[in-house]
């Protein structure tokens, strides 16, 4: 499965520095793909960032109940998954000649509906 993630920095004064982020898919709060490592990225003022990480390896072990539900949803034609990102993000202004960044840790996810 390949997903496309889009982010636009709406701020006109502060840039966003993404440290390496791990992206993976979950089903019922259980990880079902291997984590894909996104490289560090800087997002300037009003700048968009688009990435399309491949999420692979569906052989991750999950609970029997979740596996049964996943199989039923797959055969029904629709699977609701979450795409999760883990890592550090720094916010701040790099225009003054030196890094002036504030470190934060986002907990972000996107709901995704997969039609088979």
- pLDDT tens per residue across span 24-80: 988 988 998 999 999 998 888 888 888 899 988 767 788 888 889 989 998 998 888
Average pLDDT over residues 6-34: 86
pTM, rounded to two decimals: 0.76
Question: Which residue would you say has higher pLDDT here, 110 or 68?
Answer: 68
pLDDT over 60 (residue 116): no
E-strand ranges in the chain read: 5-8, 15-18, 21-27, 30-31, 36-38, 41-43, 48-51, 78-86, 89-93, 100-104, 108-115
Distance of CA 19 to the CA centre of its chain: 13
In the chain, domain spans: 5-60+82-109
């Amino acid at each position: 499965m390949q997903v496309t993630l889009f982010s636009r920095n709406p701020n006109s004064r502060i840039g966003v520095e993404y440290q390496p982020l791990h992206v993976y898919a979950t089903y019922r709060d259980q990880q079902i793909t291997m984590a894909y490592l996104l490289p560090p990225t800087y997002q300037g003022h009003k700048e968009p960032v688009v990435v399309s990480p491949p999420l692979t390896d569906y052989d991750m072990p999950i609970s029997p109940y979740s596996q049964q539900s996943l199989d039923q949803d797959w055969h029904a034609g629709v699977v609701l998954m979450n795409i999760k990102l883990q890592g550090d993000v720094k916010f701040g202004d790099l225009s003054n000649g030196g890094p002036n960044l504030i470190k934060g840790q986002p907990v972000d996810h996107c709901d995704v509906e997969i039609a088979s």
